[in-house]
Amino acid sequence: MQMGNKNDELRKKRNKPQRYYDYGLLAVIIFLCCFGLIMVYSSSSYAAQIKTGDSLFYLKKQGFALILGIICMFLVSKIDYHKFAKLAVLAYILAIVLMILVNFTPLGIEYNGKKRWFGFGSTSLFQAAEAVKVALILSLASLVNKFSKKIDMWKVQLLIFAIQAPLIYLVLDNNLSSGIILFGIVFLVLFVASRKKARFIIAVAAVAAAAVFITVFSDKIIELHILKEYQLERILVWKNPTAYALEGGHQVLQGLYAIGSGGLFGKGLGESMQKLGFVPEAQNDMIFSIICEELGLFGAICVILLFLFMIWRFVVIANNAPDLFGAMLVVGIMSHIALQVILNIAVVTNTIPNTGITLPFISYGGTSVVFLMMEMGAALSVSNSIKYER
């Protein structure tokens, strides 16, 4: 009896499902955040010294946001993600309200002609679009979960698009690049959720064909007065940044100078010349070019591989998630990170026309880092609910 008890206990212990926690993901998040801080300091200190008299100006702000973000991440990761599902509708409504407030009321604060910030009077609190991304990912996962049985139907897929459309439209108005990313997330999540492939492939092919057409025939399109030159400006700049150095090619061109002068191993950390005011606001969208200049091709590829590793962790978590909601949540987060990294590097290397997209975890931006860390918390929370047996 005693023996039996003992065996029972042993068996119980052995069969007790182990709670999984993705330390690999946690490690890469922390590494990228710290690396980001270093690069923000490196790329901003000179300009900060001149502008504010404090070379640590941007580093301090970013550091503060990061601490806040890490706290958020741990808190969120400790919450069972199923509880988030209940917040999905609320998050969606809040996002809509937020966007309306930002777009149409004085609570939206304008910078450089774009109303992107939410705040009161002169104090801006956060960039609305970053919050909307979280709300969209959450509501999307929830919707997919709800309609899982009929998800392959055109009707349902269009409905899900239709539900997210107002949000995307509101963001698109002032922030084209974030709108594109939101759209991309919806697209990718639906792709994963549905059994169908053809329609998605056709959609991608159609967009690609349109892009190629506009690019190749941009001169003709202007000649025939279908579109005006300024409407195609970004494409023209992209095709020949040198010729449009004054009309917007400047940033891209300076970025290319930085990347090109990096060479194989770079000039060494802190040794960038291009950050001395040549690349405008080097700590923002163009920070990857400074990484290239200082750390070379080697450093740049390391950074890309780190992001790839992070995405791989998302794949593992999503594949092992106990249910569809968890998986879709992680797929949404993964889409977000993947899209932003690819688009950012593609813009910086002038592979695609310029749109203002930040590099996650590394570019300067408090709002971005806080909401990103919340997403990471959610992903960790999903990973935490994976049970496995020894």
Give the separation between CA 105 and CA 274, rounded to whole angstroms: 39
Provide the 8-state DSSP code for 19.
E
Distant-in-sequence, close-in-space partners of 296: CB < 8 Å, separation ≥ 6: 262, 263, 264, 265, 266, 267
Query: Is 373 in contact with 258 (CB distance < 8 Å)?
Result: no
Kindly tell me which of 87 and 342 has the beta carbon lying closer to other proteins: 342
DSSP string computed for 111-146:
ETTEEEEEEETTEEEEEHHHHHHHHHHHHHHHHHHH
Q: Which of 92, 118, 244, 325 binds other proteins (CB under 8 A)?
A: 325
Work out whether 182 is an interface residue with other proteins (CB under 8 A). no
Tell me which amino acid residue 40 is. Answer: V
Q: In this chain, which stretch among 35-43, 125-133, 261-269, 359-367 interacts with other proteins, using CB under 8 A? A: 261-269
Give the separation between CA 79 and CA 76, rounded to whole angstroms: 5
Kindly tell me which of 28 and 338 has the beta carbon lying closer to other proteins: 338
Give the DSSP H/E element, type plus range, for residue 388: strand 387-388
- CB of residue 323 vs other proteins: minimum separation in angstroms? 5
- CB of residue 354 vs other proteins: minimum separation in angstroms? 15
- CB of residue 61 vs other proteins: minimum separation in angstroms? 22
Work out whether 359 is an interface residue with other proteins (CB under 8 A). no
Work out whether 187 is an interface residue with other proteins (CB under 8 A). no
Work out whether 215 is an interface residue with other proteins (CB under 8 A). no
DSSP string computed for 239-304:
H-TTTTIIIIIHHHHHHHHHHHTTTTT-S-TT--STTTTTSTTTTTTTHHHHHHHHHHHHHHHHHH
Query: Is 357 in contact with 344 (CB distance < 8 Å)?
Result: yes
What's the gap between Cα 307 and its chain centre? 11
The footprint of other proteins on residues 273-292 (CB under 8 A) is 273-274, 276-278, 292
Kindly tell me which of 57 and 257 has the beta carbon lying closer to other proteins: 257
Kindly tell me which of 50 and 71 has the beta carbon lying closer to other proteins: 50
Q: Which of 207, 263, 268, 269 binds other proteins (CB under 8 A)?
A: 263
How many residues sit in the footprint of other proteins (CB under 8 A)? 51
Site pattern 27..46 for other proteins (x: CB under 8 A) = -------------------x
How deeply is 81 buried, as exposed, middle or buried, from its count of CB atoms within 10 A (0-12, 13-18, 19+)?
Answer: buried
Give the separation between CA 380 and CA 244, rounded to whole angstroms: 45
Residues 228-233: contacts with CB under 8 Å, at least 24 apart:
none
Work out whether 345 is an interface residue with other proteins (CB under 8 A). yes
Work out whether 323 is an interface residue with other proteins (CB under 8 A). yes
Work out whether 20 is an interface residue with other proteins (CB under 8 A). no
Kindly tell me which of 218 and 349 has the beta carbon lying closer to other proteins: 349
Kindly tell me which of 179 and 262 has the beta carbon lying closer to other proteins: 262
Which positions touch other proteins (CB under 8 A)?
46, 145, 148, 188, 191-193, 195, 256-264, 273-274, 276-278, 292, 296-297, 300-301, 304, 307-308, 311-312, 315, 318-319, 321-327, 331, 334-335, 338, 342, 345-346, 349, 351
